[in-house]
Amino acid sequence: MASPSLKPNEAVSLPDPLREAVGHLLLAMADDEVLLGHRDAEWVGHAPILEADIAMASIAQDEIGHAVLWYSMLQALGWPDPDRMAYFRDPPEFRNATLVELPRGDWAFTVVRQFLFDYAEKVRLEALIDSAYPPLAAAATKVRREETYHLMHSRAWVLRLGDATEESHRRMQAALEQAWPHALGLFEPAPGEDLRVAAGIQPPEAELRVRWKAEVRPILEAASLKIPEAEPAYGGRIGRHTEHLAALLADFQMVARSGMGETW
């Protein structure tokens, strides 16, 4: 093998303000994925067709697996272990974008949310493949390939439902109106962005947002959906959430917090 193998679980030493800043980026990515994975998993046994049910279970498993990867990279930088991060923090400590905490809604909302998220993740990972933080660059290379299947899936559903029937169009457009401001919130800069950009860890979020819009716009238009004019719903990256996060966490964290020492 020509290129050396890089191991994400080994932290490359970072000077302190930058270590903190990289941690904020990883935290945002991990919290986004673990909560979206939980919302996706809520469809198990409830999706409109069996194939969709299996798809949501599989996508949920992928997202939660990716969250564990980002949390384990955080652990290598000095944060608590992944279980503690996922199960023993309260809402203000979560730094996910509010998009992923919203209730699962109808199937149209689920499809639209997943589509907007998947493409945001695509542009983020593609940028991070060139990150100056080697563990992150290596992990982004890996996860980006897997995400190809999520992209194929959510794009196909958006195109299928966008103009299938009057009702499917109405529901998809309503879902887009609801999800859009929160999806813009995926690009709310996590604390320390200036440091990360200066160190070559990531490009500015504003730049990622431009790339993301260029990706989703033609697909939404092909699906006869109109992108709403809306201000971004910011706050998630500094711990300000909707009322839905507390309810989600009550469900998600219940077993771990019961204090009975359950293990898988």
Binding site for other proteins (CB under 8 A): 1, 3, 5-10, 51, 54-55, 57-59, 61-66, 68-69, 137-139, 141-143, 145-146, 148-149, 152-153
Minimum CB distance to other proteins smaller for 27 or for 184: 27
Interatomic CA distance for residues 185 and 117, integer angstroms: 11
Structure tokens at 222: 């092909």
To other proteins, the closest distance from the beta carbon of 67 in angstroms equals: 9
To other proteins, the closest distance from the beta carbon of 197 in angstroms equals: 23
Interatomic CA distance for residues 217 and 220, integer angstroms: 5
* 190 class by beta-carbon count within 10 Å (0-12 exposed, 13-18 middle, 19+ buried): buried
Minimum CB distance to other proteins smaller for 45 or for 145: 145
Report which of 98, 75, 61 is spatially closest to residue 26, judged by C-alpha positions.
75
To other proteins, the closest distance from the beta carbon of 1 in angstroms equals: 7
To other proteins, the closest distance from the beta carbon of 223 in angstroms equals: 18
Minimum CB distance to other proteins smaller for 147 or for 193: 147
Minimum CB distance to other proteins smaller for 51 or for 243: 51
Report which of 89, 87, 93, 112 is spatially closest to residue 102, judged by C-alpha positions.
112
Residue with tokens 């109405």: 170
Minimum CB distance to other proteins smaller for 100 or for 139: 139
To other proteins, the closest distance from the beta carbon of 57 in angstroms equals: 8
Minimum CB distance to other proteins smaller for 230 or for 256: 256
To other proteins, the closest distance from the beta carbon of 40 in angstroms equals: 11
Residue 40 makes CB contacts below 8 A (sequence gap 6+) with 56, 57, 59, 60, 63, 110, 114
* The amino acid at 74: L
Query: Rounded to 5 degrees, what angle do the CA atoms 187, 40, 248 make?
Result: 80
**Around Cβ 35, how many Cβ atoms within 10 Å?**
28
Structure tokens at 235: 């706050």
